[in-house]
Amino acid sequence: MNTIGTGAFRPRTLIGVIVVAVGALVAAPWYWYAHGGFSTGAWVMFAVLYIWTNIGQSLGYHRLWAHRTYECGKIMQAFLAIGASLAVVKVFLEWGPDHLWHHLHTDEEGDVHSPIVHPLSKPENPDGFWKALYGLWWAHMGWFMRQTTVPVEFKERCGFAKNPILRWQKRWDKPIVFLGFFIPFMVAGWDGLLLAGFVRVFVYWQATFAVNSYGHLVKVKRDAAGHVILFEPARNSFVLAILVLGEGYHRNHHRKAGSAYLGWKWYDFDPGKWILVTLEKIRLVYGIKKPMTHTGTR
Ligand SMILES: [Zn+2]
Ligand SMILES: [Zn+2]
**pLDDT, tens digit (0-9, with 9 covering 90-100), for 66-105:** 999 999 999 999 999 999 999 999 999 999 999 999 999 9
User: What is the band of 222 on the pLDDT scale with cuts at 50, 70, 90?
Assistant: confident
Cα(67) to centroid of ligand 2, in Å? 7
Q: Measure the CA–CA gap between 40 and 222, rounded to whole angstroms.
A: 53
CA of 3 to the centre of ligand 1 (A): 18
Residue 223 has what pLDDT? 76
CA 61 distance to own-chain centroid: 8
The pLDDT value recorded for residue 229 is: 75
Which ligand places an atom closest to the C-alpha of 233?
A: 1
Q: What percent of the chain has pLDDT over 70?
A: 95
The chain-wide mean pLDDT, for the chain, equals: 93
In the prediction, which pLDDT does 123 show?
81
**294: pLDDT strictly greater than 90:** no
Residue type, 194: L
Q: Output the pLDDT for position 3.
A: 52
pLDDT at residue 220 greater than cutoff 90: no
Strands (DSSP E) contained in the chain are: 71-72, 220-222, 228-230, 285-286
Q: What percent of the chain has pLDDT over 90?
A: 83
Looking at the CA of 69, name the nearest ligand: 2
Three-state DSSP at 51 gives: helix
pLDDT digits (tens, 9 = 90+) for 4-37: 556 899 999 999 999 999 999 999 999 999 999 9
Collapsing DSSP to helix, strand or coil, 125 comes out as: coil
Reading phi first (left if > 0) and then psi (alpha if -120 to 50, else beta), residue 127 is in beta
**What's the pLDDT score for residue 134?**
95
Q: Which ligand is nearest to the CA of 251?
A: 1
Tell me, what's the pLDDT at 1? Answer: 42
For the chain, the residue count is: 298
- Structure confidence at residue 291 (pLDDT): 80
Q: What is the pLDDT of residues 244-255, one digit of tens each?
A: 999 999 999 999
pLDDT in tens, 124-166: 888 889 999 999 999 999 999 999 989 999 999 999 999 999 9
Amino acid 293: pLDDT: 58
- In angstroms, what is the span from residue 204 Cα to ligand 1's centroid? 17
266-269 long-range contacts, Cβ below 8 Å, gap at least 24?
A: 268/238, 268/241, 269/238, 269/241, 269/242
Compute the C-alpha angle 242/243/245, nearest 5°.
70
Residue 297: the pLDDT is: 46
